[in-house]
Amino acid sequence: MQKRIQRLEQHLRRENPVLADSVASFKKLDRISRKLGLMDANRSFAEQVSWWPVISVLGTFSAGKSTFLNQYTGRDLQRTGNQAVDDKFTVICYGTGETTTLPGLALDTDPRFPFYQISRAIETVAEGEGRRVDSYLQLKTCEAEPLRGKIFIDSPGFDADQQRNSTLLIVDHIINLSDLVLVFFDARHPEPGAMGDTLEHLVSKTIERPDAAKFLFILNQIDLTAREDNPEEVVAAWQRALAQHKLTAGRFYRIYAREMAVPVEDEQVKQRFERKRDEDLGDIEDRIRQVEVERSYRVAGVLEKNARHIEDQLVPALTAARGRWRRRTIWLSTAVFGLLSALFLAWSLQAGHWDGFRFTPVAKLSTPYQLATLGTAAVLLWGLYMYLRALAGRSVLKKLPAQIPAGTDGEALARAFKHNLAAWWPSLARKQPRGWSWHTRRRLRGVLAEADTLVQSLNDRYARPSGDAPPAAGDAPPPRAP
């Protein structure tokens, strides 16, 4: 993992020095997380970031997604047709030479791309499918200038009613990591009410997200409605359907392919459609160009989000779990050792083994044997305490999922609690989790300060209220796709 992060840092140092500095902050956050037991040694927070802007294209079958990408790049990258023509998620990025198609393994094993180790996640929801990652993904490279510095993801046609769990997992993964999500609908199918589950997944579950502004909803192939008696009714039908799924505000784009438009006899209608198409296509392409700036800020946001998640949620939740473990250990130990003490006293008194406060069976032994006997008893009692301690810890761990606060990473919390269970020093007197100290807290605050500094550096690069001249173009080139 460290070698992969170093290669990423070296690559960013050449391409985008501002973001390269943030890699060091991610490495600091990794060390803090590992010290707390929240993360394995072979994982990194840097994996949660796609270091190049990601634009995903989702939508229903035959909604014109591939046609849009072909038009945007100026190349025939994706097959098009009225029926589903591709059942794979295709990652498209800039490359030199001829257009090349690579298997999904190229994405699953390279941390620079958005599907790094996606096979593991697929395996968790569909056993055996993780080995078939090539049947889900492919990578295409093309020497097309519009692709430079960006990564596009073209999805197969979406139908939530028929999608496998593994496919829905990939869709959710794409939505989470994307800087811009283009959601396409087909104007040729003006009965959106029949697509309830699809709209639920692509609309209802997205508009309540904190990053809902990154979704653009696009009604494509709108030129086919130009021959209708009332073409505006098609748009109105879609707007009503989306309103039923809580999308009542925001922009609804209407476009069609420039090179594949159907003939329209009415010149006024044709001009009106072309004017609206060019306006909306221009706005969409402007948003695509803007994602390079948004990506840089999103990296800073991911760094700050993870640092605050550790400090504000994971550590308090872990402290609370450790407190329950401590109390349960005390109760269990008190009950067991109290019972054993009572039984021992009852037996020894009945047998007459006490002479005042002297336990005669031990007092009669020589000093070495007395020490050996007491040492053996202490080891047995210590072993019993450790067993009771572990038993109490396992009972807390078993109930931990039901007690995790909303929004907390349950997997990381469970891993960290196991890290506390495995501590070589078994004392539970300390209330703070293992690895959490004033020094760790100070380092975490340092990472938060570095995230703020990164945002300020980006502001200096993109915003200049004073009117000073911007830095030379070569000082901070935009990121380029791998």
Reported as a single tens digit per residue, the pLDDT across 356-371 is 888 888 888 888 888 9
pLDDT at 195 over 70: no
Q: How confident is the model at residue 152 (pLDDT cuts 50, 70, 90)?
A: very high
- Global pTM value: 0.66
Closest by CA to 118, choosing from 128, 107, 103, 102, is 107
Q: How confident is the model at residue 474 (pLDDT cuts 50, 70, 90)?
A: very low
Give the per-residue pLDDT at 194.
47
Give the per-residue pLDDT at 391.
93
Cβ-based neighbours of 226, under 8 Å, separated by 6 or more: 262, 264, 266, 269, 270, 273
pLDDT: which is higher, 283 or 195: 283
Give the per-residue pLDDT at 449.
94
Q: Are 321 and 413 in contact (CB under 8 A)?
A: yes
- The mean-pLDDT minimum among 72-76, 82-86, 265-269, 437-441 falls in 82-86
- State the DSSP H helix or E strand holding residue 219, giving kind and residue range, or none if neither: strand 215-220
Give the per-residue pLDDT at 19.
80
| 425-430-431 Cα angle (round to 5) | 130
The CA dihedral of 22, 27, 33, 37, to the nearest 10 degrees, is 160
The Cα–Cα gap between 171 and 214 comes to: 15
Residue with tokens 């703070």: 432
pLDDT over 90, % of the chain: 21
Give the per-residue pLDDT at 450.
92
Q: Are 442 and 307 in contact (CB under 8 A)?
A: no
Closest by CA to 96, choosing from 144, 54, 51, 150, is 144
The Cα–Cα gap between 107 and 38 comes to: 26
Q: What is the mean pLDDT of residues 250-262?
A: 74
**Tens digit of each residue's pLDDT (9 = 90 or more) over 59-102:** 877 778 888 888 888 888 877 655 555 678 888 988 887 888 88
Token duo for residue 314:
């994971």
**Tens digit of each residue's pLDDT (9 = 90 or more) over 383-428:** 999 899 999 999 999 988 877 766 567 888 889 999 988 876 656 6
pLDDT over 70, % of the chain: 80
- One-letter amino acid identity for 312? D
Give the per-residue pLDDT at 34.
93
Give the per-residue pLDDT at 236.
77
**Tens digit of each residue's pLDDT (9 = 90 or more) over 110-121:** 766 777 778 877
Give the bridge partners for 151, in sequence order.
Answer: 54, 93
The Cα–Cα gap between 53 and 180 comes to: 8
> What domains can be seen in the chain, in order of their start residue?
50-263 (3.40.50.300), 320-438 (no CATH)
Taking phi over 0 as left and psi of -120 to 50 as alpha, with beta for the rest, 221 belongs to left
Q: What is the mean pLDDT of residues 313-325?
A: 91
